[in-house]
A and B are shown apart, each in its own frame.
Chain A
Amino acid sequence: MDFITHILAFNSESPLLFTQFYFWAFFALVFSLFALIMSGKSADGKSRLHLRNVYLLFVSWFFYYKTSGLFLLILAFVTLSDWIIAKNLSPALPSREGGKASPRSKRDFSLLTLSVVIDLGLLAYFKYAYFFTNMVNDLFGTGFQVFDIFAYIGNGFAEAGRFSVDTIVLPVGISFYIFQVISYTADVYRGRIQPVKNILDFGFYVSFFPQLVAGPIVRAEEFIPQLYKPYRLSRRVFGVAVFWILNGLAKKIIMSDYLAVNLIDRVFDNPLLFSGFENLFALFAYSLQVYADFSGYTDIAIGVAMLMGFYLPMNFNSPYKSQSPQEFWRRWHMSLGRWLKTYLYIPLGGNRKIGFGTYFWLSLIAFVSAALTGWWWQILVPFGVFMTGVFVWDKWISQKASVERRKLLYANLNSFITQVLGGLWHGASWNFIIWGGINGIGMIVEKIWRGMNWHVRMVCISLLCGGLWLAVYYTNLPAWRLFAVWTSIIWVGTTVRYVYHLCKGSDNRITNGLSTAWAVIQTFTFITFTRLFFRSSSNLDPATANEVAWATAKNMVNQIGGAWSNAIIPDFLWEYRWVVAMFVAGMVIHWLPTNWKRRYRLAFSAMPLWLMVIAVCIAIVVIYQFVTADMQPFIYFQF
């Protein structure tokens, strides 16, 4: 009875998570009825498919209720509002291949604007209320507090004080499903898809439970056609689905949770307790953890959806194999990347132009940065000079420049804005914006670097390196030392390649391999250091997020740059051997060639079913050992 109650009732402390037995019990029950609906001769009939969609819609709503309680109403509201708005858009001819969409009326544009305002308004309210309130308070010295209007209204219906009005709780998955409904209305507006006639079908698209909480962000044009297709699951695809589920569970529990509990969390919580080496190791381990956590979750989502005959887009493509920050963003959280490209980067002008949007967002970013740091003239004067230069160049000089040069400037400016706003999507904290900004700058620098000839590269890196060591000499600040060491490593690599280039060495398999490894390691290192700001902001009370996050990042940099200790490295590697082994194993698996991975995935999927049952059971038993593993006790290496 207790078990049944636990399955049915909402409990904020125990949501349905993919990594818990209760989710799988829930899924088994859901699939039983699903199998019943999809059995029989008329299983592929229209009415049966409709019944399946309605059934899965209510299952998804139940899943969301279990996770978020009454926030289900918000999900239902955005579903209804975007369905109505899209339905009221006048019918549009589909856009020509590669050409412009058919022109839209002002009424349609107003409807689209209304939809975006409602959706982003809700997102801003729930996700950014603290952020905006703190920003206003910091800027104007006010003392505003957040007030939950929905809780206030709710108290009008329920008994007084049922909901707290002093805090705004973030509904689970709101960032994902808001982006999905925006993509739907925008695609209908652009004529890429026709509006969905049945609201229940549309509701199913928005709420499909495997991807509701953590993505992938599914675009309407990818998913809605699947609603009307009969159930098809080949034996091979079934095997692949099971593989994705196991793969996701292993990533989440073995790689992510084990590393987090036994090392990463404790270091990030209290960096000063650990030496520079331990901090650096934890930072790299966090890079693996965040990938394993997120991609593990989406692997499970993809596998579960596949079992029900639905195909979700790939979300991660071995991102740490990337050879540049730009490539990284094409491999990491791909569904978000595609969304931002389609609905933000391209509307801003992409690599074709810069317009009002570009100037507006850049100015806003500069203004807010100046206001919050207090560095008014240090930021606004150079920014003003730069933007004036860009404006003059764009209006009067750019016609004389090459197309490539124009494209480079436009793409860099628009992609920088996309990265900063993409950072803000991840969390309402300055650290996420800094994180986005660093990524944007990294992409720009890397593109410029690639465009340089070898002599210029060598001069630039030498000057940078020398400058940083001078800064170390005069200030001895840990941050400078850290950058100086890293830049020196890049300088060594660049020098080797420069000398090879001067000697007119030819490219061959070995040099190409070394060059790839070098680029992958540099990109991985860069991405890892941006994580300093990403991790620091996670799981914090919004009211204190900025302060704590900044202190954590600063302390970690200070430890890495100022309290490094070679002597403790052997002791650390031995005492934390299981953590280190997990990290190494995770990275080795990650870096395996794609073909190898495909081969073992297919080999698994081709197993006889009875063998697959045994393999799954063994895998679950192994994974369970990590769930229940004894904790790595605290060991201090530095005193």
Chain B
Amino acid sequence: MRPYRVLLFIASVMACLAALCVVLPGRISFGSHDLRWPTLAEVLTSPQPSPQGRESYDTDSIENTDSTDSTENIESTEVRDTIASPVIPKVSVDSVTDSRMFLAAFYASLAESSERVVRVVHYGDSQIEEDRMSQQIREKLQALYGGKGVGLVPLAQTIPTLSVRQELRMNGRFTAPAQGPRRYLVYGPKHDQRTDGLYGVMGQVAVMNDSLVKGSEEITAIVTPLIPTARYSHWRVFADTSVHYTFAGDTVQLSGRGAVYGLSQQSETGVIVDNIPMRGCLGLVFEKIDSAQLSTFYRRENVKLIIMQYGGNAIPFNKNPGTISGIVKGLRDQVRYLQACAPEASILFIGPSDMLTQEEGEWTTYPMVPYMDRLLRKMALEENIAYFSLYRWMGGAGSMLKWQEIGLAGSDGVHFTRAGARKAGNAVVEWILSPTY
């Protein structure tokens, strides 16, 4: 073939494709499926290296600061996609005029940390798995107000964490957590749930000798903190009275039959921060947990701050604002429920981060993220709880792409990397504490 015939072929293909660009309206729907084809303008426009909103993104806000917006006006629910000021203000607690004013009870309790434990419970979805974010909150609070120990861990840890190495032995044999005692999860699938609501404060419970056939198994949990300074030789075991236990060093021996709600290696004073991740959870499960159990724990363990970090799991599956607002309404109910269970504790709600999806082959922020962030913030302020907008702190729409580029977020456009989680955790704790400096 002569070269001009090859050229003619190439030109014909391009002409046909260009004609399709003119003829097709961008997308044609066939039932639930779309046939997509770009318009000529889309083809000829130089591709933008960033998704929507990226132009307004300030790189320095990620790379040079761990602090966050401190100027949010509690009267205003307007969403701003840029960070107003990266500087941590030096203000006293009394003069806080943003939603941190609702943390006053927690701030006040820090004064008693030298005499007793002040507990912070950090609930969240997969974004806080592996002790992500909680670790930074714990480290900072313990550095300032004392306290040792990594807080609550489940008897059988199915998800390794960055803070502890955990092993399980049943009758002396190493056992994989999934093959350990029967677990029930308030946020799990139906067959993993129980009807009596007795999940304990972690929303999960391991039942020893659940099966009559199995007989009596002895369980040894070895929980070794990976951060030497976090180690403390005292244990709290939250379990039914029918479960007997002894502990020495990093090892807890348990026997008997009954529920184990969690183990906590902790000091007797200072701040203890519990990391309680609930994979795939929308955060609408607290009402399913027995209120007496929660109240008792919160009161006895002197829980002064409850952090709820949810919303992300609602985003990928819901394109309808009505559904999102229904979920936020559900979250409001959970907040009220926890307020009733822990009337003396402050509550901080952390909204979802920026989250990306692909549309027409381009990474872009899920449309519902800013909407949910706005609704959550409004809900928080109306319920007198503090609100931290991860989404706005990151820089708003498209900021997750920048986080990906600099290794702070994973390629799924949803989860932080460990470095990203560290950054976000530091930002949250700085934001919480800055009025106290």
User: CB within 8 Å of B: which residues of A?
Assistant: 2-3, 5-6, 11, 13-14, 21, 24, 27-28, 31-32, 34-35, 38-39, 231, 233-235, 238, 242, 261, 265-266, 269-270, 272-273, 307, 473-478, 481, 541, 544, 555, 558, 562-565, 609, 612-614, 616-617, 620-621, 624-625, 627-631, 633-636, 638-639
A609 to B317 CA separation, bound complex (whole angstroms): 45
Contact of B10 among A28, A544, A627 (CB under 8 A): A28
Judge whether A31 and B7 touch: CB under 8 Å. yes
Query: In the complex, are the beta carbons of B411 and A39 less than 8 A apart?
Result: no
CA distance in complex: A264, B339 (Å): 41
| CA–CA, A448 and B188, complex, Å | 49
Among B43, B176, B414, point to the contact of A562 (Cβ < 8 A): B176
Quick check: B36 and A633 within 8 Å, CB to CB? no
Q: Is the CB of A475 within 8 A of B174?
A: yes
**Cβ B6 vs Cβ A307 within 8 A:** yes
Given known pairs A265-B411, A477-B174, the reply for A612 and B36 (CB within 8 Å) is no
Q: Which of A2, A35, A620, A628 contacts B3 (CB 8 A)?
A: A35
Residue of B nearest to A27 (CB): B10
CB distance from B137 to the nearest CB of A (A): 21
B176/A639 in contact, CB under 8 A: no
The verdict on B20 contacting chain A, using a C-beta distance below 8 Å, is yes
User: Are A639 and B280 in contact, with the CB atoms below 8 A?
Assistant: yes
**A555, B160: Cβ atoms closer than 8 Å:** yes
Cα separation A5 to B46 with both chains bound (whole Å): 9
Interchain CB contact (< 8 A) of A270 among B13, B176, B313, B415: B415
Bound-state CA distance A615–B245 (Å) is 72
Say yes or no: A639 contacts B188, CB within 8 Å: yes
Query: Separation in Å of the A245 CB from the closest CB of chain B?
Result: 11
Are A620 and B17 in contact, with the CB atoms below 8 A?
yes
Which B residues are in CB contact (< 8 Å) with A38?
Answer: 2-3
Determine if B358 and A631 form an interchain contact, defined as CB atoms under 8 angstroms apart: yes
Distance from B269 Cβ to chain A, minimum over Cβ atoms (Å) = 33
B31 at the A interface (CB under 8 A): no
Give the residue name and chain of the A residue nearest to B44 (CB).
Answer: A3
Residues of A within 8 A of B359 (CB): 628, 630
Which residues from B are CB-within-8-Å of A307? 6
A14 B47 Cβ-Cβ under 8 A: yes
16 contacts between A and B (CB under 8 A): A31-B6, A35-B6, A35-B7, A39-B2, A231-B3, A233-B1, A238-B6, A265-B410, A269-B415, A273-B126, A476-B174, A617-B20, A620-B17, A628-B36, A630-B359, A634-B280
Of A273, A476, A624, the residue contacting B173 (CB under 8 A) is: A476
Neighbour of B192 across the interface among A11, A231, A621, A639, CB < 8 A: A639
Residues from chain A with Cβ under 8 Å of B313 in the complex:
634
**Per-position 1/0 for B10-33, Cβ under 8 A of A:** 111110110010000000000000
- A261–B43 alpha-carbon span in the complex (Å): 23
Query: Closest Cβ of chain A: how far from B285's Cβ, in Å?
Result: 11
Q: Which residues of B are found within 8 Å of A32, using beta-carbon distances? A: 7
- Contacting residue for A273 out of B4, B129, B175, CB 8 A: B129
Evaluate contact between A266 and B159: CB separation under 8 angstroms.
Answer: no
Contact of B301 with A by CB under 8 A = no
The answer to whether A562 touches B17, judged by C-beta atoms less than 8 angstroms apart, is no
Q: Which residues of B contact A (CB under 8 A)?
A: 1-4, 6-7, 9-14, 16-17, 20, 35-38, 43-47, 49, 126, 129-130, 158-160, 173-178, 185, 187-189, 192, 279-280, 313, 316-317, 357-361, 407, 410-412, 414-415, 417
CA distance A5 to B177 in the complex (A): 58
Chain B residues whose C-beta falls within 8 Å of the C-beta of A609 in the assembled complex: 9
Q: Tell whether, in the assembled complex, residue A3 and residue B46 are in contact, meaning their CB atoms are under 8 Å apart.
A: yes
Chain A residues within 8 Å of B20, by CB: 617, 621
Please give, as numbers and ranges, the residues of chain B lying within 8 Å of A476 by CB-CB distance.
173-176
Contacts of B4 in A (CB 8 A): 35, 39
Which residues of A are found within 8 Å of B279, using beta-carbon distances?
Answer: 273, 636, 638-639
A583 CA to B159 CA, complexed, in Å: 28
Closest to B14 in A: A28
B176 contact from A478, A628, A635, Cβ within 8 A: A478
Contact of A617 (CB < 8 Å), options: B17, B126, B130? B17
Kindly state the separation between the CA atoms of A446 and B12 in the bound complex, as whole angstroms: 52
Q: How far is the CA of A27 from the CA of B36 in the complex (A)?
A: 24
Q: Within the assembled complex, what's the spacing in Å between the Cα atoms of A266 and B355?
A: 14
- 17 additional contacts (CB under 8 A) given A233-B1, A270-B410, A613-B9: A32-B7, A39-B4, A234-B1, A261-B411, A266-B412, A270-B415, A272-B130, A476-B173, A562-B177, A565-B178, A613-B12, A617-B13, A629-B358, A630-B357, A639-B187, A639-B192, A639-B280
A88–B9 CA distance with the chains assembled, in angstroms:
45
**Which 8 A-B residue pairings sit nearest by Cβ, starting from the closest?**
A636-B280, A476-B174, A633-B316, A269-B410, A35-B3, A265-B411, A266-B412, A6-B46
Contact between chains at A613 and B16 (CB < 8 Å): yes
Contact A630–B3 (Cβ < 8 Å): no
Contact residue among A265, A563, A627 (Cβ-Cβ distance under 8 Å from B158) = A563
Q: For A613, what are the chain B residues with a Cβ–Cβ distance below 8 Å? A: 9, 12-13, 16
Q: In the docked arrangement, what's the CA distance between A565 and B49, Å?
A: 40
**Closest Cβ of chain B: how far from A53's Cβ, in Å?**
15
Would you call B16 and A617 a contact (CB within 8 A)?
yes
Q: Decide if A269 touches B411 in the complex (CB within 8 Å).
A: yes
**What CA separation (Å) do A272 and B126 show in the bound complex?**
10
Give the contacting residue for A39; candidates B3, B45, B316; CB below 8 A. B3
With a cutoff of 8 Å between Cβ atoms, the chain A residues found around residue B316 in the complex are 633-634
Alpha-carbon separation in the docked complex, A273 to B125 (Å): 11
Residues of B near A27 (CB, < 8 A) are 10
CA distance A477 to B160 in the complex (A): 14
A2 touches B160 (CB 8 A): no
Closest chain A CB from B211 CB (angstroms): 17
Closest to A561 in B: B176
CB nearest neighbor in B for A7: B46
Contacts A2-B46, A270-B415, A636-B126 given; does A31 touch B3 at CB 8 Å: yes
Across the interface, do B358 and A630 meet the contact criterion of CB distance under 8 Å? yes
Q: Give Cα A28–Cα B18 distance, bound, in whole angstroms.
A: 14
* Chain B residues with CB below 8 A from A231, complex form: 3
Q: How far is the CA of A233 from the CA of B6 in the complex (A)?
A: 9
Q: How far is the CB of A557 from chain B (nearest CB, A)?
A: 12
A361 to chain B minimum Cβ distance, whole angstroms, is: 34
A11: B residues at CB distance < 8 A: 49
A478 to B411, CA, bound (A): 26
Residues of chain A with a CB closer than 8 A to B175's CB: 476
